[in-house]
Amino acid sequence: MGCGEAQTVVLIRNNAMQLDLFLHSREVILRNDALAAIQERHVQEGRAALAKLAAEYPGDTFLAPLEILLHAMEYPPSRCTRADAVLAGKAQLETIVLPVAERLMPATQAGAWIAGEWEILAEAAAGLAYTPTASSAYVAPLYLKAGVWSAAEAAVLAIPSWRRIPQPLAWMAEAHLAQFGMADAWPLLIELAWLDPAAFDTLARRRKEPILERQLHNFDADFENETGNARDSHIHPAAWFPAWCLIVEPGLIPLLREAQPGQGQNPERAARLLLDIHALEKQGAQSRLLEQRKALRQLHPGLFARYMRTR
């Protein structure tokens, strides 16, 4: 399949479609032979097995979906020179090829096979520069879908000022989260929460990291009752997540200190104030501590009240 070339194939929509590994009829054996070859990416063996199935059982309902997977392997995307070609190839995978793989293969094998398809598309798109208006056509998110984290990271590093742009920052945070875990990814996640809280919220909930899931669950239950200033009502709640974490989980203080300065908006200011407050508490600098507490109360009364409940 040429990069982005439309290949229309009729998809049999049958939710019960699944190869029965416990039957041993000739028809089922031929189906399994074709699928096994596809899973191992043996194109010629898969084509031969599918041809044999078609010859002996021309009405078999698995012929069409197996053909979709085999066709995708026989015609991988060629070098992409335009973003719209990448997007077309991406849509082809998401709407036609991958749903079939998920229905025909066991979950583990399907995941590995699908990752391979994303990596092939990523390699075809490798020559395209990052364009904000077509960010999903860039190679980094394709490598993320493939689970090739180091390649995704390298692609993000090629974007000038990537740490100041929400989408590349989110890609880098995800790559670090997958490779190195929460401790390494925390500064990037915090910066993303300040720069684009909606993007942070989407990424954090999609990744389903146990620690992050627990923190978000507690934040949802706890922060909704905290009252801020009316002037900040337009701000996405997730922007306040780093500041809230400093109150309920002060062990994160060293990691938050590693976050680079953002745009200095109120959620970041609140977090920075809490960092100062924690330091002043240890120093016993009461006069300065009272000033910073007052500043926090003026900035976000609810966060200040939540902080005082821990004292």
- Has residue 17 got a pLDDT over 70? no
Average pLDDT of 46-65? 96
Query: Among 107-111, 198-202, 250-254, whose mean pLDDT is lowest?
Result: 250-254
What is the pLDDT at residue 2?
52
The answer to whether residue 235 scores a pLDDT higher than 60 is yes
Token digits of residue 187: 């500064």
pLDDT tens by residue, 111-154: 999 999 999 999 999 989 999 999 999 999 999 999 999 999 99
| Share of residues in the chain with pLDDT > 70 (%) | 92
Checking if the pLDDT of 7 tops 60, the result is no
Provide the CB-side half-sphere exposure for 144 (13 A, CA).
22
* pLDDT 10s digits, 186-205: 999 999 999 999 999 999 99
Six-digit token string for 10: 């009729």
Residue 9 has pLDDT above 70, yes or no: no
Q: Is the pLDDT of residue 72 over 90?
A: yes
DSSP state string for 167-231: HHHHHHHHHHHHHH-HHHHHHHHHHHHHH-HHHHHHHHHHH--HHHHHHHHHHHHHHTT----GG
Chain-centre distance of CA 283, in angstroms? 41
- Centre a 10 Å sphere on the Cβ of residue 17 and count the other Cβ atoms it contains: 13
Mean pLDDT of the region 27-54: 96
Q: How far apart are CA 183 and CA 32, in angstroms?
A: 44
pLDDT at 223: 84
pTM of the model: 0.86
What's the pLDDT score for residue 4? Answer: 46
Which pairs count as long-range contacts for 139-143, CB under 8 Å and 24+ apart, including other chains? Answer: 140/168, 140/171, 141/171, 142/86, 142/90, 142/118, 143/118, 143/119
pLDDT tens digits, residue range 282-294?
A: 898 889 999 999 9
Q: What does the pLDDT read at residue 24?
A: 60
Torsions phi, psi of 14, nearest 5?
-140, 105
Query: Average pLDDT of 18-32?
Result: 72
Place 5 in a pLDDT band, splitting at 50, 70 and 90. Answer: very low
Tell me the average pLDDT of the chain.
90
The pLDDT value recorded for residue 10 is: 34
Q: What is the DSSP string of 92-140?
A: HIIIIIHHHHHHHS-HHHHHHHHHHHHHHHHHHTTTPPP-GGGGGGSHH
Q: What is the average per-residue pLDDT within 57-61?
A: 95
**Taking residues 295-304, what's their average pLDDT?**
94
